[in-house]
Structure 1
């Protein structure tokens, strides 16, 4: 009985548990039903709202079919819409908010916008376009990378595929940064410096394009600084006009620059070309402006050997070089540069200039460019000249009648003696045919000149002439009309103002050689005696002959000769030690470094005598002294360009324990930038420059070296020390100028500094007054910087590399001139790949790349960077 009761209790307990479970599930189902009911209610509300919006849109579409002119109204905010439920958000289509409120008219449909395909070129422009495209269409950042792939092709698409396959695509900003690094301009290019150095080289439009391209890459410049950069790079004539107009902003300046350029071009097109009047017909049987034919120069074999030994040209007697060209024998005239003779660009010719061109030869002769023949300038008598003795204001003067001179000239000294009124002349400079120039001292107008029985009123130009007091040229001969010359008997005839005039020229006296025994007899005849002495002159020391530019004018040469005389001590060979200076060379060793003592090694036997000779010379000059220092380095000789030997010491072990001096040494680019815009250059070469700097007394023992004869130490700075270039750089100066006058001033200042610090130069290696000069493997001139042809010749003749070292040397030489070669990186890429480890495999493809690279360098031999 008890067991049955226990079983019944167990059954009832299970039934109670099942009932409670059913009740719990029923309550859960009820909660779910209520939640679903609420969700369906929200869904119905949202759909009703959507239906209302669709109804409004249908009303708007119906209104668009009817013509109407709605009144303007403010743009209201878009109407809020009920957001979709989170559980259905991923299934509802994306609906952008309405940009136009109900009742307003939709704008016209925009044209389809296309983004150009990106091939790898013009990366910054493409990024600018596609960023604007994404911004306009409101493309989210996480979709932009995927969409950008559809606008890539070629090399750019291949790069994108590589990023995709290596999982390097994270977000849009990182993608833009990587694209700029891969395809954008190199960060090595200094855009700020390029913008500041930009100059107008062609039209204003081209200059604007370059300026805008660079200014977009430069940040941090306000409009005022950009305006100043723009104005400073314009052509000088346009720049002056804009400075006067004072543009208020950059856009006004760009517009004004184009207008000024159009004005200048229009002025040049309207300016007529000046045509000089034809020369008058010949008035005499013999031409009056023809010089005697140049004699043929004949040299005997002995003279030819002497000329060859001196290194002179057989034809012109000047120094002969491999590229020597004889100066043209221009003995006819001196051409005068007429300053301010042409109207400025953009201005039409004045009425006076029209009258000068249209007038007759006699009326416009005084305005033509005057010239004087070489024979008249030097006072030589040739068949086309005639010497007379006539008078001005009662004073006799020696006159040279010369048909090769255009105007009349008078000596400065004679004009002062005659107290003639000197007026400023329009012809201030006279250019000689070989590039020299003479300065006119003024002009004397309407001077009475008595020639024979006739009196002429002549205009005279003051000029430093020799051999005659006065030169009468074609300007005077034109007044005579028909003239009859007899060059053999030296007389001339003409009619002037109804009178016949005959002028007899002076004959050259004939000198005769006499013996001493006949001197008493000739003395009684009243003859004049002259003694002729012949003295052998040794050729000039090449070390004392400077190299002067062939285009240097006479004014510069005269001033430079005075400089050489006044500063002759700086061109002497230095004797003794240089004075102590603040730049004495110091050798600071690392803490705890022991004395450097290098074991000597062998050198060629034929160098022993040369080492003994050089050591003896340095001992006598006081450059070195015997040493007992614990330091010791080895000696070696290096051959110079002139086949002499340079004494050097192997200081590599000493340099390894020397603390480096960080004194700034300018780079090649900085040095070339400093001389940009200069027209005249001079180059000074210090005689044994390092030996003109003393070693600090505390560091003399560290320079000790050993030879086969003994142990010595330097008192001056030797070659090979690690900090020697830094010490020497602190003493250097560069000399370059814009004009000849300022160049003389600069040379005077530099020579004065050299004399003050007792620095000596080697005159034979100096170059003065050159319009182009070799500098650090470049040719610098007023036009800009060009490549040294000798370096290009080395590139052209470089053999095919068989080792990595040879290829690295070739690329190093070419890289020095990389800015002269277009697309340098792309052309050098196949060769640069071979420099990697275990990658040097020479194939026909690399041979073709090597030849193409050489041709690209050779093609840029004559290119110039301004």
Structure 2
């Protein structure tokens, strides 16, 4: 007696006809889920599930099914559970760990994209609703995550709705900020009447105007004309060439003290809103919100003199330091080569932008905590940022000057007076050496004594003038007998002119002795007992100390 196989027809509902899902080897988990739903809806018996599936296979999936059936050693029909595992093993991923994927999932795009990825992984694991909510919130961006946690959602859907609302608000604020930024940063599109220099009779606006935050308020020359041409930005090589030639950074004229006054321009701008524009109630005061970085004038880097600076000499453990006292610098700086030479400890910090007076910006990555130096037997301690200065060792700015109290400063005489702990200090700035005129006798004497000299010749240039060139040759002369008075002086104080054979005499503050422990014996270990590598290093160190 043969058992009739029921005829498989597409399952029909009251509204539509449901076809069995086809499979070609792609998205195996989604296809298996559809098969289970169809079998549950159609009440399909276990005996015909695999045969029903085989009818709807295509491509490589059908080839695999045919090979699987032929490789079976039994003729009994295969049950659906074993067949589903075989299909998932053949067409599924090599390593499937949905829990690990769920824990490592992070939002990188929009909330909708994150929800799609989260739900795709969620279909492969069985979790409680509380754990689902925790995993969903943990994967959100930090700002969105904190906003969602504030409302304590109990379901994934509630958390997703809160995240989408916060994303919409943030996008709205960003678009409004971009619109206001374009409005204020491009005043020329509003016409000539939108941007104008502030005059003394103009009152500062409160809500309908905005003062540019990146420009300080000038005390004078508020009604000067505004230059439409932006300042030119030079490359590093171009700027180095202009510094070498001594040219101004804003024009082609030579830079001299006071030359920057020619380029002084108005720095207070007022932007007024049109009457027809929507007033933005969210615009806040911008003055004082922007963090101003440390400022150091360009003369501290290029070595040029400035009427707000004064050079003096200090000491760090008896090592002389060239200190530039600069009232235009906000912070203190120390040259990086000086830090290495003195062996100071530099602490790494987060890169900080330092704005130079010529418009450039350099970055500071280290700072010397409690850097000390001595001036007139008084020790000063302050923090100094490490920066390649080149033409001075230390720059003392307002950070150090503010600790001195009242200061009397005469820039004409390069004289500075202040009191520290009741002791009065008077600092005098070093003046630049000037060229001196030397006659032939003085020049000959200098050459005989081994001095270095240079000859410069100035002559007119013209069509009818003949240029006469001159040359300076080396002059050698035999040592002549010294005058009798000099010979007597040398013989009288012969001990002073003899070649030193011991330590210099003791002076206050300079003790040349090397104190040793009483009864200490010298090291009695011969160099040849060291390995060759150590011997080479020891000899190198000894030669360096002797030199």
Q: TM-score, normalized by length of structure 1?
A: 0.28
Bigger radius of gyration among the two? 1
